[in-house]
Amino acid sequence: MVSYISLIFYILAFVHIALFLYSGSRNVRNLFNIFMMLGLLSNLYELIIRFMETGLAPTSTLYDLMLSLSLSFGITYFILYAKYRRPLVGLFISPFMAAALVIAIFYPPTITPSYPVVDSIWKVVHLPFIVLGTTFLVAAFVASVMYILQEAQLKKKKFGFIFQRFPALDTIGNINNTSLTIGFYFFTIGAVLGFIWMLQNNLEELLSSTKVVFSVLTWFLYAALIIFRRIKPLTQRQTAQWTIIGFVLIIITYFGVASFMLR
């Protein structure tokens, strides 16, 4: 199955970026990007094939959703790489991509959605935005973790290989800010479309689902963070800390989604 091939590429990519962290070799870094790209292409190929076979949107089943999520992580990585040329973000992103594919492999496409509202057009347009928004917000989380690690090393004056390879503090901060902003806007568009979808269906039942509760909570947290940063400048560290809390909420939301889709 193609998802196995993608998974192998992502695992190879992770191994290479870990080696780059240790050795700093440019060749290893280039190999990482090649494996990421190959993984991404096979991932995309599988989604296209699935669409041509079933005619369903690439977010119809948990299997498709996880494939899309993995693809979206790849797109997020390459957008950030094109802007900042810092491959180490991929050290933390590639495991997410691999994990999404492992979940996909665990829940093969034979399991079809049982929930009655899933075939709405609003869902088809809502989910890609949510998925892309999520992956950018996860990238913001990754940058936040990197920021906290790098800042701690600068404060403690420890200059190991992590310090050497990680980007400068302001670059990590910028990656965080960019990811946060893009992620939030995509997430907001997705949430609005999701709300329209919700209005067309059984509002009461949906409102009581864990997924929706945590989605709204997550959105509010990021909205507060973005608005608060405009009013009173936060330090990059505070931004990083709030982004990490936001990520925890995203994870809970996704568990909600998983239970919802498998219900």
CA-based nearest residue to 172, from 89, 90, 238: 89
Contact between 163 and other proteins per CB under 8 A: yes
For residues 167-190, one letter each, b for 16 or more C-beta atoms within 10 angstroms of the residue's C-beta and e for the rest, the string is beeebbbbbbbbbbebbbebbbbb
Backbone angles phi, psi at 232, to 5 degrees: -130, 115
Residue whose structure tokens are 């009173």 = 232
Lookup: tokens for 36: 């990421």
Contact between 236 and other proteins per CB under 8 A: yes
Q: Per CB under 8 A, which of residues 169..188 are in contact with other proteins?
A: 169-171
Q: Smallest distance, Å, CB 166 to other proteins?
A: 8
- Identity of the amino acid at 161: F
**How would you class 153 by CB atoms within 10 Å of its CB: exposed for 0-12, middle for 13-18, buried for 19 or more?**
middle
Q: How many residues does the chain have?
A: 263
Contact between 39 and other proteins per CB under 8 A: no
How many Cα atoms occupy the beta-carbon half-sphere of 222 within 13 Å?
31
Contact between 263 and other proteins per CB under 8 A: no
For residues 116-149, one letter each, b for 16 or more C-beta atoms within 10 angstroms of the residue's C-beta and e for the rest, the string is eebeeebbbbbbbbbbbbbbbbbbbbbbbbbbbe
- Rounded Cα distance between 100 and 135, Å, is 11
Give the DSSP per-residue string, 116-131. TTTT-HHHHHHHHHHH
Backbone angles phi, psi at 34, to 5 degrees: -65, -45
Contact between 155 and other proteins per CB under 8 A: yes
Among 237, 241, 252, 260, binds other proteins (CB under 8 A): 237
Contact between 154 and other proteins per CB under 8 A: yes
**Number of residues forming the site for other proteins (CB under 8 A):** 17
Contact between 152 and other proteins per CB under 8 A: no
Q: Pick the closer one to other proteins by CB: 168 or 245.
A: 168
Q: Pick the closer one to other proteins by CB: 24 or 108.
A: 24
Stretch of 38-46, 137-145, 157-165, 204-212 lying at the interface with other proteins (CB under 8 A): 157-165
Contact between 230 and other proteins per CB under 8 A: no
Q: Pick the closer one to other proteins by CB: 200 or 235.
A: 235
Lookup: tokens for 29: 């870094």
Q: Pick the closer one to other proteins by CB: 117 or 149.
A: 149
Q: Pick the closer one to other proteins by CB: 163 or 195.
A: 163
Binding mask 85-124 for other proteins (x = CB under 8 A): ----------------------------------------
Stretch of 3-11, 108-116, 137-145, 147-155 lying at the interface with other proteins (CB under 8 A): 147-155
Among 22, 45, 159, 255, binds other proteins (CB under 8 A): 159
Contact between 157 and other proteins per CB under 8 A: yes
Residues that bind other proteins (CB under 8 A): 24, 150, 154-155, 157, 159, 163, 167-171, 233-237
